[in-house]
Every structure is written in C-alpha cells, then in structure tokens.
C-alpha cells in the first residue's frame, strides 16, 4: 500500500526536497491543485451578462443556444 505524504507546496524548499529524495529515492510526486479555494464566485452581474447571451433564435440546437454564453465565460477565465 503506498504511503501518502501531504504538505503545503509553500513549505517545500531545497532541504525538504533533498530529504525526501534521500528517504524515498523511488518515489513519485504529484501536485493537487485546489484553484477554486482562492477564486471569488461569479458576480450576479456577470451571471446575468452570460444568461443574456443565450441565443434563443437557435432553439432546438442546444449547443448553438449556449455557444455565445460559453464563449463569453471562456474569455472571463483568461
């Protein structure tokens, strides 16, 4: 059964990494990101901006209806 070591990334420095390398020379490392923790939720204004972009003229083609809103939300991530 694998051993799991969990520590904040900010606590890693050269000495800690070197110590882990010496203790566990065959170990692999993975980094788990929790980006949502520090992001503010979408504002109500931004939500309604996206909703207003739904193209109801394309009713019957769900992808076409939401495409403008999805594009708008994609730009907001950048």
Model confidence pLDDT, tens digit, residues 40-61: 678 889 899 999 999 999 999 9
* Cα–Cα distance measured from residue 20 to residue 67, given in angstroms and rounded to the nearest whole number: 48
* pLDDT over 60 (residue 78): no
Does 51 fall in a domain? yes
Q: What does the block give as tokens for 72? A: 């708008």
- Please list, in sequence order, all residues whose beta carbon lies within 8 angstroms of the beta carbon of residue 51, skipping any fewer than 6 positions away: 69
| Domain count across the chain | 1
Query: Which pLDDT belongs to residue 51?
Result: 95
Query: Rounded to whole angstroms, how far apart are CA atoms 37 and 54?
Result: 29
What is the domain extent for residue 50? Answer: 9-77
Q: Is 20 within the bounds of a domain? A: yes
In a domain, 70, yes or no: yes
Q: Distance between terminal CA atoms of the chain? A: 40
């Amino acid at each position: 059964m694998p051993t799991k070591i969990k520590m904040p990334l900010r606590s890693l420095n050269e000495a800690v990494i070197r110590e882990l390398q010496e203790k566990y020379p065959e170990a692999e490392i993975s980094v788990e990101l929790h980006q949502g923790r520090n992001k503010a939720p979408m504002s109500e204004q931004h939500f309604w901006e996206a909703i207003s972009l739904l193209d109801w003229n394309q009713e019957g083609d769900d992808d076409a209806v939401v495409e403008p809103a999805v594009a708008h939300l994609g730009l907001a991530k950048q």
